[in-house]
Amino acid sequence: MLAGLVVFLLGQLIQGSWVLRKLHLEFESFPEHFLVSACTGVILTEIGVALGEWTQHIRTAGLLIVLLSWLPAWFELPNLLRRAKSFVQRSFPFSSAECVALWSIGAALLLELMASLAPLTGSDALNYHFAAQKLILEQGFHPIFFITNSFLCGQSHLLILLGLALGGESLAMSFLFLGGALATLAVACLSARWVPRFYALGFTLLFLLTPLVFWQFSSSGSPDIWMATFTGAAVLVIASRREDADSHHAFLAGFLAGGVAGAKYTGCVIAAALGVAFIAEYRSAIKGLLFFLAALFSGIWPFLRNLIWTGDPVFPTLASRLIPERVNPYALGDFLNGTRVASSHTPFQAIPFLFFSMGRTGAAPGFWEFFGPIVFAIAPLMFLAWRNTREWRVRTFVWLSAGLGIFLASGLLRYLLPLLPVAFSCAAAGVYYARQKGWIQVHRLATLSVLLSCLIGASGLALYMSPAILAATGIEDRQHYLRERAPEYQVSEAVNQAVGSTPIAGKTLVFLRHLYYLRVPFILGNPSQSWQVNPDSIKTPADWQAFFHDQHIAYVVRSPSYPQTIAAPLEQLEKDGKLVPYAKSEVQNFQGMRIAGTREAVTVIILRVVPDDSEPLPQGK
């Protein structure tokens, strides 16, 4: 796995550095050159995988794409090694405090890498981040209407697909870890333009120890962390020290912005803010158009996929307007509620939201979306430190305008993650400003606040990641870890054991949320998650029988009951002998949020669909 990660990273660096050299945009700072090269290479790879999906030969296409990234190695690898050696030589000596910070950053990265290699347990990952990519590998590239959230998979999800295709779950997770490591580098690069090395290292460490960040690194299984990497790289390019931007500069900035837009729907808001910042700084309509075209080229692919498949490029967001005849109001309502699009808000909630302290609903953030109070606490110093320079204008405009757009569009606090590197660099400048002004007590208080946040974050990291590290290193058995940590894993096990060995062909209708560990052909039947199951059109027992026939469904799993909106006709089928008991198991599952750790006994009942020709049924288990 580690060898695969190194090969992948070097390939992205090589092809990205080659592109920068062709654009005459090499950076003086090696860390900045490293970051922008890697981001450019990764976005090119994502585009390649997006096109390769349509060939239906995903494994072959993925291998070819990785090999192609190494083509310029003969020219670029010596140049990268020379620049890296020169940077290391110029960096010495380090102060004692800087050495402590560097070792702490290295230790945090190592722990987060180890935790990321534990078996997958993230709820959304099991629902669609990984589950949808696994189905694409197994069944081919096609729309998965029975997992509505599969249409939310953006370009960064293609790194999961690539990892699963070339090496499996561990390699895919290591690609997500790489996104986090590069986002950490983005914090260091952005901060280093303004503040001495110690301050940059301090906020880099704080980024790694922020609960939402190390959750993204490890068990979440979400590729959103790549948006933070691309955003940081785009801000570095737009806030370039060049007096003016040429066409190559405009293309690169737009290309990186498109990477953000293609990763997630809310990334379009961030990309728009980056585009406005670029045009405002360089005041050229032609270069602005080139920025837009480059962003379109690098980020359009998931939207184009959805448009071809559904007629809605941001499916299901605009489905009620663009395809009203095919709307599933249950799935659409659940989607809008889950993303808080339909939630109410007031202008007063925008301020704490922009400073990473409170969601749009006014509720306190949960652990999985906790950024910490540092940005909010240091905000006064940031405003005092603000200067009318390109660096400050670009960063604050992108941060605040994109944050406001996300607030209006959704209001989920974790959607601000891509803006955190920019905000932390501004916070670092605020702390350093207090020192420059000679405000000794203020500077000490701010520094102690950062240190205390690091200590609290380190404690949280140790507590949260220790089980994952034990599983990743083999100290804890994989099966035991999954049974204790993965939601609905034991239910999936029961289904796999009961149905997986049966000689009767057919799919299994399930009403689970967490689908990744199912090893049998299945269809999700929960109307709130499946666009394919609409209670308004599948109303009667006869409708369900027709649905079973059309979808080749042989088994139905209830654990322990059906969703309320479709319970009546399915219960009637049981009474009529059209659904008969086949297997029954008692398992354990989480009650409510997984983080609470409360478990309950669940009865898993598997029913056999009686076909119309009344063929003999297998013996139940």
pLDDT for the residue 328:
92
Q: Are 495 and 557 in contact (CB under 8 A)?
A: yes
CB within 8 Å of 144: residues ≥ 6 apart: 132, 135, 136, 150
Cα–Cα distance for residue pair 380/357, rounded to 1 Å: 15
Are residues 434 and 571 both part of a single domain? no
Residues 235 and 125 in one domain: yes
Q: What percent of the chain has pLDDT over 90?
A: 82
pLDDT band with cut points at 50, 70 and 90 for residue 360: low
Q: Does any domain span residue 58?
A: yes
Give residue 574's domain range. Answer: 487-609
Q: Which of 226-240, 324-338, 368-382, 600-614 has the highest mean pLDDT?
A: 226-240
pLDDT at 616: 46
Distance from C-alpha of 217 to C-alpha of 195, rounded to nearest angstrom: 26
pTM of the model: 0.95
Least confident segment among 268-272, 527-531, 595-599: 595-599
Helix (H, G, I), strand (E, B) or coil at 616: coil
Phi, psi of 394 (to 5 degrees): -65, -45
Q: Are residues 307 and 270 in the same domain?
A: yes
* Whether 451 and 495 share a structural domain: no
Q: Judge whether 319 lies within some domain.
A: yes
Pairing relationship of beta strands 579-590 and 522-524 according to DSSP bridges: unpaired
Instruction: Please tell me the total count of domains within the chain.
Output: 2
Residue 95 falls inside a structural domain: no
Rounded CA separation 366/355 (Å): 16
pLDDT value for 365? 64
Is the residue at 520 inside a domain? yes
Q: Indicate whether 348 and 443 sit together in one domain.
A: yes
Q: What is the pLDDT of residue 621?
A: 47
In a domain, 338, yes or no: yes
Within 10 angstroms of residue 134's Cβ, the number of other Cβ atoms is 18
Taking residues 5-21, what's their average pLDDT? 96
Query: What is the predicted pLDDT for the residue at 503?
Result: 63
470 occurs within a structural domain: no
* CA gap 241, 393 in Å, rounded: 13
> 410-427, pLDDT tens digit by residue?
878 899 999 999 999 999
pLDDT for residue 461? 93
> Does 15 score more than 60 pLDDT?
yes
- For 478-504, the pLDDT digits (tens) are 999 999 999 999 999 999 999 987 766
Reported as type and span, the H/E element at residue 588 is: strand 579-590
pLDDT of residue 619: 47
* Segment 116-138 mean pLDDT: 96
Q: Looking at the structure, do residues 270 and 404 belong to the same domain, yes or no?
A: yes
Whether residues 423 and 495 fall in one domain: no
- Do 432 and 492 lie in a common domain? no
Cα(276)–Cα(249) distance, rounded to whole angstroms? 15
- Asked if 355 and 428 sit in the same domain, the reply is yes
Q: Based on the domain organization, do 207 and 128 belong to the same domain?
A: yes
| Contact present, 428 and 374 (Cβ < 8 Å) | no
Q: For position 617, what pLDDT does the model report?
A: 46
CATH of the domain at 554: 3.40.190
pLDDT of residue 130: 98
* Span 190-216, pLDDT tens digits: 999 999 999 999 999 999 999 999 999
Rg, C-alpha atoms of the chain: 25
Q: Is residue 481 a part of any domain in this protein?
A: no
pLDDT 10s digits, 153-180:
999 999 999 999 999 999 999 999 999 9
More confident site: 245 or 409: 409
**Could you count the other beta carbons within 10 Å of the beta carbon of residue 313?**
17
> How many Å apart are CA 587 and CA 578, to the nearest integer?
26
Q: What is the pLDDT of residue 337?
A: 81
Q: Based on the fold, state whether residues 11 and 54 are members of the same structural domain.
A: yes
Instruction: Answer yes or no: is pLDDT of 277 > 90.
Output: yes
One domain, residues 512 and 384: no
- DSSP codes, 421-455: HHHHHHHHHHHHHHHHTT-HHHHHHHHHHHHHHHH
In this predicted structure, what is the pLDDT of residue 2? 86
Is 96 among the domain residues? no
Computed over every residue of the chain, the mean pLDDT equals 92
Question: Which residues 6+ apart lie within 8 Å of 621 measured at CB?
Answer: 498, 582, 583, 584
